[in-house]
Chains A and B, each alone.
Chain A
Amino acid sequence: MADLRCPMCGKPNPADSEACKYCGARLKPVHAGDSKPPAAAPKSGPEEADWMSDLRGDMMRNRPKTSMLPPEPPAPPPPSDKWLSKIDARGGKESKPAAPASKQKATREPAPVPPPKKAAEPSEDWLSKIRPHARKESPLIPPSASPPAQSAPVPGAAAEPPEWLSKVRNQTSADRPPAAPEEDKGAEEPIWLKRLRARRTQDELAPAAPPQPEAEPAAPGELPEWLSRIREKTSEDTGQIDADDQSLFSSPLSPATPAPPPQTSDSPWGIAAPPQEPRTVEPATPQEPQGAVPDWLKYASEGNRQSAVEPPLGSTDWMGGIASALEQTPPTPTAKPGEPPGRPSTGRLLDAQDSAEAKKGGSLRSAGLESAPPAPPIQPFSQTPIPQVPGDTPPTLETDWDFPSEAMPDFPLGQPAGDFTFPSISGAFNAGTEPEVSPAGEGEIPDWLVDIKKDGAPPAPSPQPGSPAAAPDINELLRADTLPEWMQRKGAAAPGGKEAGPGAAATTPDNLEQGELPRWLEAMRPIQSVTMPTEDEERVESVGPLAGLRGVLSAEPVVAIPRRPAILAGNIDASPAQLTLTETLRRLLIEPEVRASRKPVRAMLLMPLLRKAMSAVLILAIIFPFFGGSLFSNSGYQPEANKKAGLLVGELPADRPVLVAFEYDASAAPEIETGASALLEHLAQRGIQVAFISSQPNGTMLGEGLRLLNEEQGIGMPPLIANFGYVPGGAGGLRRLAGNLRETVNGSNVDWTQGSLAAVNSLSDFSMILVLAASPQSVRDWVEQVHTTAPNTPIVAMVSAASDALVFPYTEGSKPAIWGLVAGYAGAQAYRAAFLPATLATSGVAAMRWQSFAGGTLAILITLVAGVIGSLALGRFRKPRKVGE
Chain B
Amino acid sequence: MNQIEVIGGMALGFFFTVAILSYLLLDDNLLFRLGAYTLVGVSAGYLMAVMLSSVMLNQYLIPLLGSPIQKLPILILLMVLGLMLFGRLDPRGSSLALIPMAFLVGVGAAVVVGGSLTGTFLPQAVAAAEPSLLPSNPGGNLDILAMLENWCVLIGTLTTLAYFHFSARPRGGAEPVRPPGIAQIAQVGKFFLAITLGALYAGALLSALAILVERIYFVVQTLIIFSTGGMG
Contact = CB atoms under 8 A, between A and B. Distances in A.
A732 B107 contact: yes
Contact of A747 (B24, B51, B59, B126): B59
Interface string B109-147: 001100110111001101100100000000000000000
Given A671-B211, A748-B54, A826 B111 contact: no
Interface in A738-762: 746-749
Interface in A588-643: 608, 611-612, 615, 618-619, 622-623, 626
Given A725-B54, A788-B118, A805 B211 contact: no
A266 interface: no
B27 A608 contact: yes
A856 B55 contact: no
A802 B203 contact: yes
A249 B119 CA distance: 109
B38 to A, nearest CB: 12
A12 B43 CA distance: 96
Given A698-B47, A698-B50, A815-B123, A845 B217 contact: yes
A671 B212 CA distance: 9
Nearest to B104: A732
A780 B43 contact: no
Contacts of A848: 217
B213 to A, nearest CB: 5
| Contact residues of B: prevailing secondary structure | helix
B103 to A, nearest CB: 11
Given A670-B215, A697-B50, A860-B209, A784 B120 contact: yes
B130 A800 contact: no
B24 A817 contact: no
Interface string B49-64: 0110011011110110
Interface stretch (A508-516, A653-661, A806-814): A806-814
Interface in B165-184: none
A824 B210 contact: yes
Given A670-B210, A712-B1, A611 B24 contact: yes
B99 to A, nearest CB: 17
A856 B112 CA distance: 39
Contacts of A671: 207, 210-211, 214
A730 B108 CA distance: 9
A856 B213 contact: yes
Contacts of A264: none
B199 interface: yes
Contacts of A611: 24
A777 to B, nearest CB: 10
Contacts of B60: 747
Interface in B198-228: 199-200, 202-207, 209-217, 220-221
A857 interface: yes
Nearest to A846: B217
Contacts of B118: 784, 788
A852 interface: yes
Report the interface size class on chain B: 35 or more
Given A626-B220, A731-B112, A618 B212 contact: yes
B37 interface: no
Contact of B127 (A615, A803, A812, A824): A812
A813 B207 contact: no
B210 to A, nearest CB: 4
B46 interface: yes
B25 interface: yes
B196 interface: yes
Nearest to B118: A788
A234 B209 CA distance: 132
A626 B224 CA distance: 12
B197 to A, nearest CB: 9
Nearest to A671: B210
Interface in A769-825: 780-781, 783-785, 787-788, 800-806, 809-810, 812-817, 823-825
B217 A825 contact: no
A809 B126 CA distance: 12
A663 to B, nearest CB: 15
A848 B220 CA distance: 12
Contacts of A781: 115
A674 B119 contact: no
B55 A726 contact: yes
A802 B207 contact: yes
B212 A856 contact: yes
Which of B50, B51, B124 gathers the greatest number of chain A CB atoms within 10 Å? B50
A853 interface: yes
A698 B59 contact: no
A746 to B, nearest CB: 7
A22 B118 CA distance: 107
B110 to A, nearest CB: 9
A849 interface: yes
Given A747-B62, A805-B200, A817-B119, A860 B205 contact: yes
A102 interface: no
Nearest to A724: B54
Contacts of A801: 202-204, 206-207, 210
Contacts of A866: none
Contacts of B1: 708, 712
13 contacts: A622-B216, A666-B39, A667-B211, A670-B214, A725-B58, A728-B55, A731-B108, A732-B111, A735-B115, A780-B120, A787-B119, A825-B209, A856-B209
The 9 nearest A-B residue pairs measured at CB: A813-B127, A784-B119, A784-B115, A747-B58, A670-B214, A801-B206, A825-B210, A697-B50, A615-B24
